[in-house]
Chain A
Amino acid sequence: MSEKLFLYPTWLRVWHALNAIFFLVLLITGISMQYSNPNWILVPFDLAVASHNVSGIIILISYLFYLFFFFTTSNRRHYNIVFKELGKRLAMQIRYYVFGVFKNEEAPYPTSWNMKFNPLQQITYVGVMFVLYPVLIITGIALLFPELIIDNFFGIGGTLLTALLHASTGFLVSMFLIIHLYFATMGATFFANFKSIITGYHEVH
């Protein structure tokens, strides 16, 4: 029997579930609109627009919910980046993923109560949650109310720039999603991490 840590409190799991479901809706409808074509329909356009808008608003609300608990609970500790020797630690982690895993080496920064992320995870999670998400949300709100956008930004349409930024950021977060899902299979067992985010308990190797 392996040791268990209670790492994912209820609020976090609720947020994670909402975020996961509605991000998938946004991803599918977003691709469907961006590459809309009369002969090839993923989601009917009007349905895609409506559900993209609704899901976007739900994601915004759940993001605010997340921020509230982030600032009021100790969960925030996982996001404190220590910059000392950061490069070296990142390199260690990357070396582990590229070579170490195959040799059944010990993970250099195993999950613990004080730090659930390894350095690489920490950097990407901070990047996604506090850089990419705000950009997505702000550009999304702007596109929902296009009259808010400045018409002309140094000769380029403001809506165009906003839409480009929105789509590119959405693309980056979708890349993150794929990586996130793949790395989730590298827990104690193939499905262990998927179980954890439902039960809240992390199984240590």
Chain B
Amino acid sequence: MAKIYKTSCFLIVLLTLCIYGNAQQNQQCLKCHGQVFYQYDNEWTGKVDKRPMNPFYHIDSVKMHISVHKEFSCTDCHRPDYETFPHSGELRMEEKYACIDCHGGDDNFAKYNFEGIEQAFMESVHFKANDDKFNCWMCHDPHGYQLALRGQESIKDVVSLSNQMCLDCHTNKFKFGLISDEMPKDIAETHNWLPNQPNHFENVRCIDCHTQVQSDLLVSHKILPKEEALKNCVKCHSANSVLMESLYSHRVKESREESGFINAAILNEGYMIGANRNLALNYVSVILFGMLLIGLLIHFILRLTIKNKK
């Protein structure tokens, strides 16, 4: 017993040291990459130089801290040679890991089906148009990705995190320009056929329209050509809404309470025309309406027959 206690104490201390160590180590990089300005000792002049940090090399340490890879130190993914400054020019040629390098064939991550995701991604418009130039990191910020659908409580947060992954590039000509020579089109303009478009973009994900549900993936990754995107309102706004298999699928599985509403899973957060109906009210209204019609019909027939008699 004492032994187990000792070992676990030892492990906890080790783990704390490890995390602390990572934080310390990351601090070494973040003192420059986490700031708007960075400073270094200029060995040639003997002075301290202060420079602006390239905003594209700026890393948001708060986001990093809540990301899926929060336990990592920078040098787990980057070469340790980065510890010296100025960084060696060759370092920029370093080959980056792909998600599949670490996650592929690992049972711990089987539920995500990384292989299936990669397969779907290879069939997406982005990969087809650009090959390797477009990779997983383009959407999954290596220094800030957090799980949205699996990780967030509220649908609005799921939607906002997921959509930001697309909008970061589709509304940023510098990021977009890394891949395309064209300017990104204004998303609000290309979607102006949606009534109250801002409200839609807060309540539904880009990928809910731009991919098709894939049964083996929680988040389908095959972005379709724009011609195949979902434009038919009723696919969402109806009793058998496609959203029940995508955006709300997680909730549908979690809660199947009998509240008398069709698609009750949505109701905690909002109301979707056509997709939410109260069954009790439905029956009551049909019955009332039927009774009214029958009553009036009888009255009418009596009116006719009795009048005719006279």
Contact = CB atoms under 8 A, between A and B. Distances in A.
Nearest to A182: B296
A102 B232 CA distance: 53
B237 A160 contact: no
Interface in A114-161: 146-147, 156-157, 159-160
Interface in B262-276: 267-271, 273-274, 276
B238 interface: yes
A168 B281 contact: yes
Interface string B296-307: 100110110010
Interface stretch (A9-17, A38-46, A76-84): A38-46
A16 to B, nearest CB: 22
Contact of B235 (A38, A167, A179): A38
B285 to A, nearest CB: 5
Contact of B237 (A45, A97, A102, A175): A45
A104 interface: yes
Contacts, number: 78
Given A36-B237, A45-B237, A163-B271, A178 B303 contact: no
B292 interface: yes
A186 B306 CA distance: 14
Nearest to A162: B271
Interface in A96-120: 97, 101-102, 104
B238 A175 contact: no
B268 A157 contact: yes
A46 B267 contact: no
Interface residues of B, number: 35
A180 B206 CA distance: 47
Contacts of A72: none
Contacts of A186: 303
Nearest to B196: A146
A45 B269 contact: no
Contacts of A34: 273-274, 277
A164 interface: yes
A64 interface: no
Contacts of B239: 37
A102 B302 contact: yes
A50 interface: yes
A170 B233 CA distance: 23
B278 interface: yes
B239 to A, nearest CB: 7
A179 B292 contact: yes
Contacts of B274: 33-36, 45
A45 B278 CA distance: 20
B285 A160 contact: no
A179 B296 contact: yes
A47 B306 CA distance: 46
B273 A164 contact: no
Contact of A160 (B267, B289, B293, B303): B267
A49 interface: yes
B1 interface: no
B108 interface: no
A50 B195 contact: yes
Contacts of B306: 102
Given A101-B303, A182-B296, A182-B300, A159 B234 contact: no
A178 B288 CA distance: 12
Contacts of B267: 156-157, 160
A38 B269 contact: no
Nearest to A183: B296
B127 to A, nearest CB: 31
A157 B269 contact: yes
B233 A160 contact: no
Given A37-B234, A157-B267, A157-B271, A175 B195 contact: no
Interface in A12-61: 33-38, 41, 45-46, 49-50, 53
Interface in B14-69: none
Q: Which of B271, B281, B296 has the most CB of A within 10 A?
A: B271
B253 interface: no
Given A33-B273, A178-B292, A182-B296, A41 B303 contact: no
A6 interface: no
9 contacts: A33-B237, A36-B234, A36-B238, A36-B273, A36-B274, A50-B195, A104-B310, A146-B199, A156-B267
Interface of A: 33-38, 41, 45-46, 49-50, 53, 97, 101-102, 104, 146-147, 156-157, 159-160, 163-164, 167-168, 171, 175, 178-179, 182, 186
Given A34-B273, A49-B273, 7 more contacts: A33-B237, A33-B274, A38-B240, A102-B302, A157-B269, A160-B276, A175-B289
Which 3 interchain pairs have the tightest Cβ spacing? Answer: A36-B274, A45-B233, A159-B271
